[in-house]
Amino acid sequence: MTGQDTADRGWDETRPTAKLLLADGTLIEGEGLGAEGIAAGELCFNTAMTGYEEILTDPSYAGQIITFTFPHIGNVGVNDDDVETVNISASSGVRGAVFAADVTSPSNWRATRGLDEWLKARGIVAITGVDTRALTALIREKGMPNAVIGYAAAGAPDDAALKAELEAFPGLEGEDLVPMVGATQRYGWDEGGWGWPGQDQPGVYGVRPDGAPKRVVAIDYGLKRNILRLLTAAGCEVTVLPATATADEVLALKPDGVFLSNGPGDPAATGVYAVPMIQGVLDSGTPTFGICLGHQMLALAVGATTAKMHQGHHGANHPVKDLITGKVEIVSMNHGFAVDRDSLPATARETHVSLFDGSNCGLELTDRPAFSVQHHPEASPGPQDSHYLFKRFVDMMDGARAGD
């Protein structure tokens, strides 16, 4: 941030305008950015070097404050194409953001505005000038703490107000956050894969497949836009239903396949109403594919359990091994809960594992056409190593059609 920017905002450089207070009493001071106010959430870190706009609009981050380990955030500005919430005017649910370096004016031909203005519009409180590497080390050692972030342009936020907000925050365990970010009504989707201006929209594996489109019902626990894009690019006709949809409502649309989306919060809490629907879909023999929270929902539906992770997985550089192909992929991840592999029934086979900590990252059912992964094959941001999973879903639906 330039000296002129600072003067324009009326900042007094002798005192901080933002604070970050952790549950253990650690207090970090810096300069405020984005929306003024106070917001509490679970503090995590993300190690991606690109894609800050996609990260800040990923609905799976609802209820969290994100620490970016990469120091230069905001340098390419923002634009509507990179927003991952399906409704670009809606809040993603992320509570706050922590940056190391001052945010400069955008320097990119795709930028439509700067990060500060964009954060304000989306109600996201941010702080700059923080040693994010040290903060990341603290999270790695002690786990993801509850925290509160505050910004007051006229002066530092009140410590008592910060403490009160932090004490009122319940944490993420036991919390169903899907209603914050999921769809409330049915809608259709026809936007295909993103391409550079002047290019045709790419398919997941070459061109859009010939023949009749596969009818896919996507259950919205906090859908990312690029998932819908890639389903459409793979030749799917997508209808999105809210997370509260029943099995009868899903099956009434006569889908060739059902997709279970990513989303935030404690999977066990969401599973109270989501699991019965999934069990009904599985019993019908309809091919099913889940990502992130959708993976956890599928596991819960077959009797497995989930558990809170120490520091979670958040970044675009995570190595995962596909036990079916034997290949190691670098993938995008964003989750703070994981499926307990020891709780998987005999009819659920583990298909992917994290090479960072050995945690479960995928499963497939041996008695019904269903599979899921913990990571994000749609990336955005991140590498495209796992795009083939969308083809696997299409092939599964083709196989089910052939068997009819």
E strand or H helix at 3: helix 3-9
67 domain-assigned: yes
Pair 152, 221 in one domain:
no
**What strands, in cross-sheet order, belong to the sheet with 257-260?**
187-189, 236-242, 214-220, 257-260, 288-291, 370-373, 360-365, 348-354, 306-322, 328-339
Q: Which of 168, 191, 208 is the last residue of a domain?
A: 168
Residue in this structure with the two tokens 């070097």, named with its chain if needed: 49
Strands 96-98 and 27-34: unpaired
- CB of 214 closer than 8 Å to CB of 237: yes
Q: In 3-state terms, what secondary structure has residue 52?
A: helix
Total residue length of the chain: 404
pLDDT digits (tens, 9 = 90+) for 185-219: 999 998 887 777 766 555 443 344 556 789 999 99
Beta-ladder partners of 189 = 238
Question: Exposed, middle or buried, 69 (CB in 10 Å: 0-12/13-18/19+)?
Answer: middle
Pair 131, 226 in one domain:
no
Residue in this structure with the two tokens 């972030």, named with its chain if needed: 149
160 domain-assigned: yes
Residue 44: CB partners within 8 Å, gap ≥ 6? 64, 65, 66, 67, 139, 144, 311, 312, 314, 336
- CB of 72 closer than 8 Å to CB of 42: no
Domain count, the chain: 2
Nearest-CA neighbor of 178 among 266, 248, 97? 266
Pair 111, 39 in one domain:
yes
Q: Which pLDDT score is estimated for 349?
A: 98
Q: Which of 125, 145, 168 is the last residue of a domain?
A: 168
Write out the chain's pLDDT in tens, 404 residues: 333 343 444 444 556 999 999 999 999 999 999 999 999 999 999 999 999 999 999 999 999 999 999 999 999 999 999 999 996 555 668 999 999 999 999 999 999 999 999 999 999 999 999 999 999 999 999 999 999 999 999 988 999 999 999 999 999 999 999 999 999 999 999 888 777 776 655 544 334 455 678 999 999 999 999 999 999 999 999 999 999 999 999 999 999 999 999 999 999 999 999 999 999 999 999 999 999 999 999 999 999 999 999 999 999 999 999 999 999 999 999 999 999 999 999 999 999 999 999 999 999 999 999 999 999 999 999 999 999 999 999 999 999 977 76
Pair 254, 375 in one domain:
yes
Report, as residue numbers or ranges, the catalytic residues: 292, 376, 378
Looking only at Cα atoms, what is the longest distance across the chain?
73
Domain harbouring 335, CATH code = 3.40.50.880
Q: Which pLDDT score is estimated for 198?
A: 67
Nearest-CA neighbor of 127 among 93, 157, 82, 170? 157
Question: DSSP label at 32?
Answer: E
Pair 72, 114 in one domain:
yes
Beta-ladder partners of 188 = 239
Q: Which pLDDT score is estimated for 204?
A: 45
Strands 306-322 and 257-260: unpaired
Distance separating the N- and C-terminal Cα atoms of the chain: 62
Pair 296, 378 in one domain:
yes
- CB of 2 closer than 8 Å to CB of 128: no
- CB of 167 closer than 8 Å to CB of 156: no
Structure tokens at 394: 């299409």
Nearest-CA neighbor of 276 among 258, 294, 300? 300
Pair 343, 250 in one domain:
yes
Q: Determine if residue 123 is left, alpha or beta; phi over 0 gives left, psi from -120 to 50 gives alpha, anything else beta.
A: left
- Is the full-model pTM beyond 0.95? no
Pair 185, 298 in one domain:
yes
Domain harbouring 34, CATH code = 3.50.30.20
pLDDT digits (tens, 9 = 90+) for 256-278: 999 999 999 999 999 999 999 99
Residue in this structure with the two tokens 């045709």, named with its chain if needed: 200
Structure tokens at 141: 């050692």
Residue 87: CB partners within 8 Å, gap ≥ 6? none
Percentages helix, strand, coil for the chain, rounded to the nearest 5?
25, 30, 45
Pair 278, 230 in one domain:
yes
173 domain-assigned: no
Pair 207, 231 in one domain:
yes
Expressed as residue numbers, the domain containing 111 is 3-168
Pair 161, 187 in one domain:
no
